[in-house]
Chain A
């Protein structure tokens, strides 16, 4: 499975070394993390040292070497969000999910990350869940929002 999907992505990118970042981005979307098997294969097929693939995979924030949750929660901690209470919001979500920032819930439903600026500074503080952005949140509203997603997951 992993091999086939990885090969397909490599073919789409013409086995071009210059597309390494793009290839890893597509793998991250495909598997929701970067499996070691896939990274080894990328190194082999592109004929580059595994260390270079690993270096890129650990340099950029988008990539994760461990499985991520089905829902990605990103709490914006840009400056405007920071001065408008993002740190408190982040801690509230950590408590609600019982995980630390950067972590994933054991049932693989949610991952929680802090991200520096989603570019919606006028609506600070901002949280993005998957592709939806929510602005001007209080701690209570963030908790309620999370409950909605939890409920959706059970349905």
Chain B
């Protein structure tokens, strides 16, 4: 059915509402990639089987990710007239009991994570299960971009429309001029969520003013920063939000064609976005005469082939054009000369997904959230050595401490917090004494890191900061496209020095040399990959210099990570001779009779850590 008016959208909205909140019991399973990795697919099948076996007339649905990945698979149960119950860490064995509980109208208390209700739905307390807003992981969150993730079926356009989707597009096409759209986005204060934080409205304005009949918009879904995965989750959980943003942007700029460049590593995101594009075309929301207007626009999918540098806009354009993804000098910026040398506007997934909400609720509403310079909300992935891992969407300006300790629940296994790494390979490691830093673009840059795409990797006392710097440079030396000397050779040299330090071959003067070289790479690289590559080295040197000194002067790795500087042994007091480590040691380096003290032959030991992982008595020592 083609939508040409508000009435058409309203009709679909009603159908979508029926589907989100039907007149009978509905069981939804979160089946984004993170859910599937923990067995959500099997849980879904088990629920279908169990419900079938009992001959029940329940609806079973798939949704995206609610964000609390630590507790996946998450299952939500809806009963008309009652708040929705979200169950955590569901496995196939729990399914029969869960279905039985639903049938009898009770809740399995020990498995329930929380209750939630949509606007207008019942909100009674049930069995002492907390409300979603009282769960620390969710309490500080404000969901704008991820408002539908984990609630709607991403493959069902009616559910997206029921949540207000495509009404912003309708509003734009029926009464706003392109300049008004750009003005609204500019006034909202939205800045690019991909890394650099350039004001989105201004960028759109450049592309609109650029001379040329044919123009393009691109969605950058080449989410390469290790540790960040919000774009994947948005594409898998609410693909229409991204698409609607692109259509509105294309209207504002005057583009006739759009591309989304998705990483090859995200097959499910590609699948769900493709379905969204087809559904939008069928409904007349994409293609010729969108919603009956004279605006034509279509979107095509371009799949990445595994190159981090393609997240850089000029490389990404080269890749869409079918060439090696090498960056080029800017200016000219893509707004003047981008894809096929035509004016092109590139924004990332999260930026596009913010647009429709801004149009619908207004620039003032959006700019009322956040700090002076950084408006709105931002999705962060809180991962690493932290208790509650997952995706959180919070207003800009929350402190790092609130993120790591209040939302993240603190450090995993009660270890000592050491640093939080933000911004991926272009970012930096922020130490404990800066935890009260409010998170916005400027504050993070002042600390030597960047906002980047929003990855936050928590590190504890078992993380070696020299190793982390080495890790990022290893990553970047592999991913450097090799076009410019500063990046290609400079990163390689930095890496060599760090590898030597980690191998116990560090020399006096290495720290100074690293600093000098890093500055050179920063100053002379062609694109942002090289220009920001030294950040992990510079921040670790700035905040964790003593760890470098321990490696260089004392040949010690305080975190016990760098294999050349550590040795494994067995604690004579604690070893009871169970033989578990002995059996698994890949090189036969462990000797000892059963129930007798075991010993490690240092000459054979390859420091793989299998014994440490296996021992239940903490008898393996690392020194």
Contact = CB atoms under 8 A, between A and B. Distances in A.
Do A and B come from the same complex? yes
Interface of A: 16-22, 24-25, 52, 55-56, 59-63, 77-85, 88, 91-92, 95, 115-124, 126, 131, 133-135, 138-140
A100 B609 CA distance: 19
Contact of B322 (A20, A85, A121, A131): A20
Given A55-B324, A117-B265, A119-B229, A79 B455 contact: yes
Contacts of A95: 586, 608
Given A22-B303, A82-B226, A120-B33, 5 more contacts: A16-B322, A60-B325, A80-B384, A126-B37, A131-B267
A89 to B, nearest CB: 10
B384 A79 contact: yes
B383 A56 contact: no
A63 B325 CA distance: 14
Contact of A123 (B37, B265, B614): B37
B: contact size bracket:
35 or more
Interface string B210-234: 0000000000000111111100110
Contacts of B324: 55-56, 59-60
Given A62-B306, A133-B36, A139-B608, A121 B389 contact: yes
B205 to A, nearest CB: 28
B608 A91 contact: yes
A85 B610 CA distance: 11
B29 interface: no
Contacts of B390: 122
Nearest to B305: A60
Contact of A60 (B223, B226, B307, B468): B307
A65 to B, nearest CB: 14
A131 B33 CA distance: 10
Contacts of B69: 120, 122-123
Contact of A121 (B229, B265, B308, B319): B229
B306 A20 contact: no
Contact of B457 (A77, A80, A131): A80
B57 interface: no
Interface string B26-41: 0000000110111000
A91 B586 CA distance: 11
Given A20-B323, A133-B37, A140-B614, A62 B264 contact: yes
Nearest to B459: A83
B306 A117 contact: no
Nearest to A116: B226
B38 A135 contact: yes
Nearest to B266: A119
5 contacts: A79-B384, A85-B609, A122-B72, A124-B383, A124-B384
Q: Chain B CB within 10 Å — which of A21, A25, A123 has the most?
A: A21
Interface string B313-353: 00000011111111000000000000000000000000000
Interface string B478-501: 010100000000000000000000
Contacts of A55: 323-324
A151 B549 CA distance: 49
Interface of B: 33-34, 36-38, 69-70, 72, 223-229, 232-233, 264-267, 302-308, 319-326, 381, 383-385, 389-391, 421, 424, 455, 457, 459, 462-463, 468, 471-472, 475, 479, 481, 584, 586, 608-610, 613-614
A125 B237 CA distance: 23
Most chain-B Cβ atoms within 10 A of its Cβ — which of A60, A77, A79?
Answer: A79
Contacts of B613: 88, 138-140
B383 A82 contact: no
B224 A117 contact: yes
Contact of A118 (B265, B304, B381, B475): B265
A82 B586 CA distance: 22
A123 B69 CA distance: 7
Nearest to B264: A62
A59 B307 contact: yes
Nearest to B472: A79
B457 A79 contact: yes
B609 A88 contact: yes
A52 B324 CA distance: 8
A116 B584 CA distance: 28
Given A115-B265, A119-B229, A61 B389 contact: no
Nearest to B310: A60
Given A21-B319, A120-B229, A133-B37, A84 B305 contact: no
A80 B69 CA distance: 14
A101 to B, nearest CB: 12
A79 B38 contact: no
B229 A79 contact: no
Contacts of B33: 118-120, 133
Contacts of A17: 322
Contacts of B36: 133
**Which 9 pairs from chain A and chain B are nearest by CB?**
A61-B306, A78-B226, A122-B69, A60-B305, A119-B229, A122-B389, A20-B322, A133-B37, A117-B226
Contacts of A82: 226, 468, 471
Contacts of A19: 322
A77 B266 CA distance: 16
Contacts of A56: 322-324
Given A88-B608, A138-B613, A140-B614, A120 B305 contact: no
A21 B305 contact: yes
B385 A83 contact: yes
B226 A80 contact: yes
Contacts of B264: 25, 62
A83 B609 CA distance: 14
Nearest to A81: B226
A24 B264 CA distance: 13
A140 B610 contact: yes
Most central of B38, B267, B381, B479 by chain A CB within 10 Å: B38
Given A21-B322, A59-B325, A123-B37, A79 B307 contact: no
B322 A92 contact: no
